[in-house]
Amino acid sequence: MIKRCEWANSNALMQQYHDKEWGSPEHNDQMLFEFLILESMQAGLSWNTILQKRENFRKAFDNFDYNKILLYDEEKIEKLLQNKGIIRNRLKIQSIITNAKVFIKIQKEFGSFDKYIWNFVNQKTIHNAWKSLDELPSHTTLSDKISKDLKKRGFKFVGSMIVYAFMQAVGLVNDHIINCFRFKEIRNSN
């Protein structure tokens, strides 16, 4: 029997996400933007809800193409607010447009968003060694620091808890519990 982090056992979609994505070091700017947006959309909701709507988000937001999103106007926002397949929160939708613009500024400054965000962990995953889910923090000093920097640059919906969830998702931190098969896979990959 495969040992997973307990949160992943609720359904097949969560298992697939856990087994193939969560905690894997991500360096593709397009995927980093997607995760940042999905994490911000998740605020106040369950991650399962976001995963269930992920394909709808991809279709609605031009596959998270930040170069297209930054051009969204009020007409596009209104169309998105009518889309029952996504989270229809005006502030969150507007923040995606704002965040696309800031994301591109960071790319220009650092060469890529990847270089910017991975610099916070010296280009290496932080491997924690949690024995149970109860030990996982909701935020850390580092997520506080990243959140503060993102906000200073103009990002919206990037509080420390959202940033920490993003860090977990894209492998900045390995928060798989130690008896989970993914813990060793990720640890041995870098």
Task: Name all domains of the chain by residue range, CATH numbers in brackets.
Answer: 25-189 (1.10.340.30)
Average pLDDT of the chain to the nearest whole number:
96
Rg (CA), the chain: 16
Q: Which residues are catalytic?
A: 17, 39, 47
What pLDDT digit, counting tens, does each position of 92-122 carry? 999 999 999 999 999 999 999 999 999 999 9
**Would you place residue 2 in the very low, low, confident or very high pLDDT band (cuts 50, 70, 90)?**
confident
Can you give the pLDDT at residue 189?
82
Q: Looking at residues 134-150, what average pLDDT do you find?
A: 97
Structure tokens at 162: 């959202």
Helix intervals (H) in the chain: 12-20, 29-42, 47-60, 66-69, 74-81, 90-110, 113-119, 141-153, 160-169, 181-189
Can you give the pLDDT at residue 24?
96
User: How many other C-beta atoms can be found within 10 angstroms of the C-beta atom of residue 41?
Assistant: 24
Q: Looking at residues 143-168, what average pLDDT do you find?
A: 98
What pLDDT digit, counting tens, does each position of 14-67 carry? 999 999 999 999 999 999 999 999 999 998 899 999 999 999 999 999 999 999
Structure tokens at 24: 């894997």
Amino acid, single-letter form, for residue 150: L
